[in-house]
Amino acid sequence: MLKNEYPDVKKCQHIRISSLRIDECRSSLSSWLLKPYHTSPRGEKKEIKEKREKRKKEKKERKEKKKERKKRKKKERKKRKEKKKEKKKRTKRKKKEKKEKKEKNKKRHDPTFYNFLSTAADGANSAWISIPASGEQIMMTSAPTAHYAAGPQPPSSYYGSSIY
């Protein structure tokens, strides 16, 4: 009966009608139903407001923490990246130095035709010449001497009395 007369009675659950007699409260009930749904006693409003403020504050704090964490992780990533870059540079530099050292060593100990020239071939018609590109010194000699200079030397009688 009450629900039929007052269909919005469900909205006003904060009003306790059960203890009152329906006849006595009809007038007060109608006045309550005319008020907006969200109205509540002053104490409840305060509590709701406090809870809302508390939630807002907590949300803000979480956001700040998240922002701080993000910032810290970004810094760490940057640091790691920089470290990796530095390591790569160092490795590259070491490789280059090693390669240069190896090349220099190879030039020094590389056996070529000119390194085996015998001192016996050194004579009137020969001269030491420096090659700037390789930093080596070679000996220029006449054809027959140069031909035998690389290998074992023939006996001195082979040349006979001819003068080169």
Q: Which residues constitute the domain of residue 140? A: 114-153
Compute the Cα dihedral for 81, 82, 83, 89 and give only its sign: positive
> Distance between CA atoms of 141 and 21, rounded to whole angstroms?
138
The predicted structure's pLDDT at residue 79 = 95
- Number of domains, the chain: 3
Per-residue model confidence as pLDDT tens digits over 124-154: 455 656 566 665 665 555 545 444 444 555 5
Residues 90, 122 within the same domain: no
What pairs with residue 54 in β-bridges?
none
Domain contains 29: yes
Residues 105, 118 within the same domain: no
The predicted structure's pLDDT at residue 45 = 83
> Distance between CA atoms of 43 and 129, rounded to whole angstroms?
109
Domain contains 161: no
Per-residue model confidence as pLDDT tens digits over 1-48: 444 555 555 545 445 555 555 555 566 666 656 655 555 566 678 888
Residue ranges with strand state E in the chain: 127-131, 136-140
Residues 64, 92 within the same domain: yes
Domain contains 164: no
Domain contains 79: yes
Compute the Cα dihedral for 132, 133, 139, 144 and give only its sign: negative
